[in-house]
Amino acid sequence: MRKIPHFLSITDLSAAEFWQVLKLSKRLKDEHKKTGLNKTLFKNKTLIMIFEKPSLRTRISFESGMTHLGGHAIFLGPSDIGMGSREEPRDVSIVSSSVCDIIMARTFKHETVENLARYSTVPVINALSDLEHPCQILADFMTIWEVKKKLTGLTLAFVGDAENNVTHSLALGCGLLGMNFRVGAPKGYWMKPTVLAQAQALAKKTGVTIQQTTKPQDAVKGADVVITDTWVSMGDEKEKKKRLKIFQPYQVTSKLMKLADKKALFLHCLPAYRGNEVAAEVIDGPQSVVFAEAENRLHAQKGLMVYLLSKS
């Protein structure tokens, strides 16, 4: 029996497979930009979208992507399923995969998306969990590649709350593809040690480094890309006052950006809170590619879904 290809982590793809997805995504993007259409590769195909957390970009990019490719997407919110209370993830997975061709899930716990994949007979995509955000990083790397014309050898810097899913997937992706990755974050908000060790093991093979520091200036100095994320993620609202105080020195300002390479890009997965993690003049300035990055969620996920279904 053929193994079902899932995408729960950046590391579910090899470096060669990652590049296959990026190049396929670019072809699909160029095709749609040129003609206004994509070939109907997903005719009579259905995507089930399971949401425990709300999202603008995740829903519209996956749903539009299926439409572009001739398929159909079904949205299932928390009240539609009650996953974990009304129905076990195991049962949701067995039933859903019996009637659809591919599943994406945006969950609170990574364990939930793992359970969906364990019992599914179709590919499952992690559209966000508390551990990783691999679809976002696919779009990030696609955006950087489009502008910089390469990925290998670049230096990416993340500033802010590093103990989050975006940072984890960035670190693993950089190690996999051969990019240096630096984190500037206060102690107590660094990457999970297990993820750091995994990323550093990958980086050793590709000849790059994964580093963490408490000094945002050291992280950003000479970097080709500067990235940040919200200081108060969903689930951290009770710590908002404390977090805003702790992370204030880690705001990405024009002054901080000047320490990066003069052609450095600024990325943010959105939603952004101007005046907190990033100054308005940075996110709305000439170095920012955040809206191209947001659009590339659509194109990168189309490429990913085509790739996974071709392998399943």
- Average pLDDT by consecutive 10-residue portion of the chain (312 residues)? 88 98 98 97 98 95 98 95 88 97 97 97 98 98 98 98 97 98 97 98 98 98 98 82 96 98 98 97 98 98 98 90
Q: Which of 100, 198, 224, 269 is catalytic?
A: 269
State the alpha helices, DSSP H only, in 178-268: 193-206, 216-220, 240-246, 254-257
106 as an active site residue: the answer is yes
Is-catalytic flag, 200?
no
| DSSP letter for each residue of 73-114 | EEEE-HHHH-BTTTB-HHHHHHHHHHH-SEEEEE-S-HHHHH
Q: Is 236 tagged catalytic?
A: no
Which residue out of 32, 168, 182, 297 is catalytically annotated? 297
Q: What is the set of domains in the chain, with CATH numbers?
A: 10-133+298-311 (3.40.50.1370), 135-293 (3.40.50.1370)
Region of residue 107 (left: phi > 0; alpha: psi -120 to 50; beta: else): beta
- Which two tokens mark 251? 């705001």
Output the six-digit token pair for 209.
């480094």
Say which of 140, 229, 243, 268 is annotated catalytic: 229
174 assigned ligand-binding residue: no
- Helical segments of the chain, H only: 15-35, 56-68, 78-81, 89-99, 110-119, 134-148, 165-177, 193-206, 216-220, 240-246, 254-257, 280-283, 290-311
pTM above 0.95, yes or no: yes
161 is in an annotated binding site: no
Flag whether 59 is marked binding. no
Give the span between the Cα atoms of 92 and 56, in whole angstroms.
Answer: 23
Are 4 and 120 in contact, with CB atoms under 8 Å apart? yes
**What pLDDT was estimated at residue 2?**
65
Is 12 an annotated catalytic residue? Answer: no
At 82 the pLDDT is 85
Q: Is 202 annotated as a binding residue?
A: no
Given this model, what pLDDT does residue 157 score?
99
Q: Which of 6, 57, 68, 106 is catalytic?
A: 106
pLDDT at site 84: 80
Residue 57 a catalytic site member: no
Q: What was the pLDDT predicted at 273? A: 96
Q: Residue 116 has what pLDDT?
A: 97
Look up 229 and say whether it is catalytic.
Answer: yes
Q: Is 193 annotated as a binding residue?
A: no
Catalytic residue among 6, 59, 110, 133: 133
